[in-house]
Structure 1
Amino acid sequence: MWNAVLDWLPGAVRAALARLPSEWTSRAEEIRIRDGRPLEVVAAHDFTFVDPTGRPTRDAEAAFRPTRDDCLKLLDRVTNHSVYTMEEQLRRGYITVAGGHRIGLAGRAALEDGRIRTLQHIGGFNVRIAREVKGCARSLVPLLWNAETSMPHHTLIVSPPQRGKTTLLRDAARTLSAGGWAGGVRYDRARKVGIVDERSEIAASVDGRPTFDVGPRTDVLDACPKAEGMMLMIRALSPEVLVVDELGRPEDAEAAMEAVHAGIAVIATAHGKDASDVRRRPSLAPLFEARAFGRIVILAPSGPSGVVLEVRDGEGRRLSWPTAPGVGIGAGHSERKGATSC
């Protein structure tokens, strides 16, 4: 994964990062590239600058400093040599590249009617490294299961940014699409899964083909706005389970409600500290008022990413799950009682 990310970077930046010790490359979450400022790597609430020889350092003065030319070369690569064809992505402030890695952009905002039309003079990049963790949702799925309908409950996965929501969501889609057994709950009939992948991060599709394993019975709408994509899925692709990342706009909530009323199980994510935090968001409040979600999964706001802090039902009651080695979500476990990690 690390080497695949380095392939996108210009030569001088790539050369420095290629020599970074594995203790950093194995757990890196972000690479921060800023014009004329220290090259930085971020991992699990820790960070280091990188000197020209690839040595980690906290001394900003000793760090390698990408040049303006480095930044222009990186922008040229991630826009496929045509900035103008990527105007929509620039307006949103990020570009998703093959492998599902999202590159956030910083520069001068060009406005039109008081709204961002595009970004210019881009001199800052945040390369967010996407990772596939197969099996991390295997022990979570039984907690989401509705025995009465033989389908998962409508589920919302909640956490602050960069805490593992998308990784968990991706594996839940794969697990439901593949079928199988887990935790004594039978869901062996593989389900038809539809993924609306607005940011190309869940499936990381290239030319319409997912590069992450999202399951054998999964259809993906790539780079499609969530609200439109959910309605298209309902009309044309008849999913049993609809998977979508980062609900946030009123139209997203409306489309999710349409899916709920159409008898389709919705599994989604949203940014927030906890359920009450998300409930206060005006765009998502109608979903909570309608008690649309039968399960709320809360990821821990600190510590290793992907740690499931708690799972609650639609009435707010906390559910428990096994924490024996190899039974929790993924192979690793938090020391906090009742918490597991992917």
Structure 2
Amino acid sequence: MREEKDARIIKREILPYLAPGIAKLLWGKDDKFFAGLEEIRLRIKSPLILKIGDRDYTINRRGEITTRLDDAYVVEGEDIYRSIASISDNSLYAFEEDIKKGFITIPGGHRVGLAGQVVYKGNNICILKNFSSICFRVAREIKGCAKGLLPYLIDKNGQIVNTLLISPPRCGKTTILRDLARMIADGIHIPFPHNVVIIDERSEIAGCYQGVPQLEVGVRTDVLDACPKALGMMMAIRSLSPEVIVTDEIGREEDIASIYECINAGVAVIATVHARNIEELERRVLFKELLKSKSFGRGVVLSRRQGPGTVEAVYRWDD
């Protein structure tokens, strides 16, 4: 059932945005293929790359999935051009602000990363043009994936504890973060629901398209899409009365300062950060001080050891 659902979603929400020749090659693949598909990468004059789990595959012109790159479908400039034309509905100007950030979100919450010539003015990106590669990342929500973790993030009064989700990229942080937001907002597996605000700087948690979440984040959740984390946290405190703020990939000094503001205002924070383990995180000056202050009561280390979202350890820092 899950494989069939994934196949329907990808065929309906992603394949129509690919260049026709590539979409035709992929269309006839079986449901198992689509269930494992995470990325589709197009690079000019290079083989089409399909990320399935931890391995790279390609497809040849006979429509066969293979690891042999010498027999791969080779992406041409026309494939890039036609894909981007479909994504932007033939109006790149309308997506100029998204392009400056290096990606466009399409219906369904799937993100299309862009690479090409970057034009700068001062310290600001004016535009990205002459595209050389694009990457379709499949957005998946796995409802219930955080069910086993949630009880560790609640105190004896039923309140959410400030929590850091820690892992390298591609270990399921954002998927778990989304599911935590959904369950906390809906009051699932916790004593009572909470008002949640998601600060979604990279449009990955809620997968907003034209400001509307494409993925399920809970009925008591507000989303500040494409908003810088530090600014968004302050906006949320001033105007949205959050009980819990959820945000992804903190790492700048201003992010940490805003987190302190949230915590001092009585708002719980659940955030993710890139690191392989606690020891690596402590070697980063900003986080060393944050952990030392015990502002976060829980730390959850994730990996891909048994698949994305494997919980390696839960640390309690509020004992």
1:173 has 2:181 as partner: yes
Q: Which residue pairs with 1:338 in the alignment?
A: none
Q: Which residue pairs with 2:253 in the alignment?
A: 250
Q: Residue type matched to 1:11 in 2? A: P
* Structure 1 position 125, deviation (Å): 1.2
SS at 1:126 equivalent:
strand
Q: Which residue pairs with 2:3 in the alignment?
A: none
Q: Distance in 2 between matches of 1:157 and 1:128?
A: 21
Q: Percent identity?
A: 38
> Which residue, out of 95, 99, 107, partners 1:86?
95
Deviations 1:16-39 (A, max 9, x none): 111234332211111111112211
* Native 8 Å contact 1:18 1:54 kept in 2: no
* Structure 1 position 283, deviation (Å): 4.4
Deviations 1:134-174 (A, max 9, x none): 011112110011114x2111001111112111100000001
Q: Residue type matched to 1:281 in 2? A: R
For the aligned residues, what is the CA RMSD?
2.0
Q: Which residue pairs with 1:264 in the alignment?
A: 267
Q: Which residue pairs with 2:279 in the alignment?
A: 276
Higher helix share: 2
1:26 has 2:38 as partner: no
Q: Which residue pairs with 1:324 in the alignment?
A: none
**Structure 1 gaps, min length 5:** 182-186, 318-342
* Structure 1 position 303, deviation (Å): 4.7
Distance 1:308 1:103, change over 3 A: same
* Native 8 Å contact 2:105 2:209 kept in 1: no
* Native 8 Å contact 1:253 1:286 kept in 2: no
* Native 8 Å contact 1:242 1:265 kept in 2: yes
Q: Which residue pairs with 1:55 in the alignment?
A: 64
Deviations 1:227-259 (A, max 9, x none): 111111101010111111111221111111111
> Which residue, out of 156, 167, 171, partners 1:163?
171
1:191 has 2:194 as partner: yes
* Native 8 Å contact 2:109 2:213 kept in 1: no
Q: Distance in 2 between matches of 1:280 and 1:174?
A: 32
SS at 1:2 equivalent:
helix
> Which residue, out of 94, 105, 111, partners 1:96?
105
Q: Distance in 2 between matches of 1:114 and 1:170?
A: 32
SS at 1:157 equivalent:
strand
1:139 has 2:148 as partner: yes
Aligned counterparts, 1:202-217, within 5 A? 202-217=205-220
1:222 has 2:225 as partner: yes
SS at 2:36 equivalent:
coil
Q: Distance in 2 between matches of 1:132 and 1:168?
A: 9
Q: Which residue pairs with 1:9 in the alignment?
A: 18
TM-score scaled by structure 2? 0.90
1:236 has 2:239 as partner: yes
Q: Distance in 1 between matches of 2:109 and 2:255?
A: 22
Deviations 1:254-284 (A, max 9, x none): 1111111111110011111112323333444
1:293 has 2:292 as partner: no
Aligned counterparts, 1:110-121, within 5 A? 110-113=119-122, 116-121=125-130
Q: Residue type matched to 2:283 in 1? A: R
Q: Residue type matched to 1:248 in 2? A: G
Q: Distance in 2 between matches of 1:146 and 1:96?
A: 36
Distance 1:75 1:284, change over 3 A: farther
SS at 1:65 equivalent:
coil
Distance 1:87 1:285, change over 3 A: farther
Q: Residue type matched to 2:64 in 1? A: R
* Structure 1 position 309, deviation (Å): 1.3
After alignment, is 105-114 or 236-245 more displaced? Answer: 105-114
* Native 8 Å contact 1:39 1:65 kept in 2: yes
Distance 1:207 1:105, change over 3 A: closer
SS at 1:102 equivalent:
strand
* Structure 1 position 51, deviation (Å): 1.1
After alignment, is 264-273 or 85-94 more displaced? Answer: 85-94
SS at 1:20 equivalent:
coil
* Structure 1 position 129, deviation (Å): 0.9
Q: Residue type matched to 2:147 in 1? A: R
Q: Which residue pairs with 1:129 in the alignment?
A: 138
Q: Residue type matched to 2:165 in 1? A: I
Q: Residue type matched to 2:137 in 1? A: R
